Amino acid sequence: MLTIVCVNNNNYLGRGDEYVSRLRDGILTHCNIPHDFVVMDKCVNNGWWSKLELFKAFPKGNRVLYFDLDTVITSNIDDIASYDGGFAALRDFYRPDEIGSGVMAWESGTVDKIYDRWVEVGKPELMGGDQQWIYMNIPGAIRLQDIFHRKFASYKIGNIENASVVCFHGKPRPHEVNFNPDRRELCQ
């Protein structure tokens, strides 16, 4: 079974429910693969560290596809939702040798060590946040952009024209721009 999940911890920027709805609507419109859509909003940890709980949250063997709330789905993602390989994450848009945790895919039960090791060493809070911790534990993670060419783009620095998944990491946030996801462009 495929679980598509997001984390709505502390009502993201005061717009958590709005962002969850936007993400859910994009997935419903652009994903034909049977799935459960799960919003994790009762995480023990705060902020980006909540993502680490994802690695222990689902029954072993489930496929999991995670999206940050500031991700906008603009066209069909069936190929991404059908991914059944090893742990994969975005290639960081600014540091291409590292990962970005804004979109991740894995089989539940195969990467529990990410969370277990974090707890075991006292839940350190690194400068690079959760994605730095994930990178330290799985430096050889598959990069989603290497599999799905031109399907992912950064709103800030990428070519969003043909992308199916547009990542709004940092500023601006989706609500701060007049972005038409169906046409993948700024509107007047």
Beta bridge partners of 71: 167
9 neighbors 41 (Cβ within 8 angstroms): yes
Portion of the chain with pLDDT greater than 70, in percent? 89
Q: Give the residue among 20, 51, 49 at the shortest CA–CA distance from 37.
A: 20
Kindly give the residue spans of alpha helices, DSSP state H, lying in 11-112. 16-30, 78-81
119 neighbors 49 (Cβ within 8 angstroms): no
pLDDT digits (tens, 9 = 90+) for 124-166: 988 888 999 999 999 899 999 999 999 999 998 878 888 999 9
22 neighbors 180 (Cβ within 8 angstroms): no
Give, as one character, the DSSP assignment of residue 48. Answer: G
Looking at residue 128, its pLDDT comes to: 84
- For residue 188, pLDDT over 60 is answered with no
Which H/E stretch holds residue 136? Answer: helix 129-137
Enter the pTM of the model. 0.92
**What is the dotted CATH code of the domain comprising 2-186?**
3.90.550.10
Highest mean pLDDT pick, 18-22, 43-47, 145-149, 156-160: 145-149
For the chain, the residue count is: 188
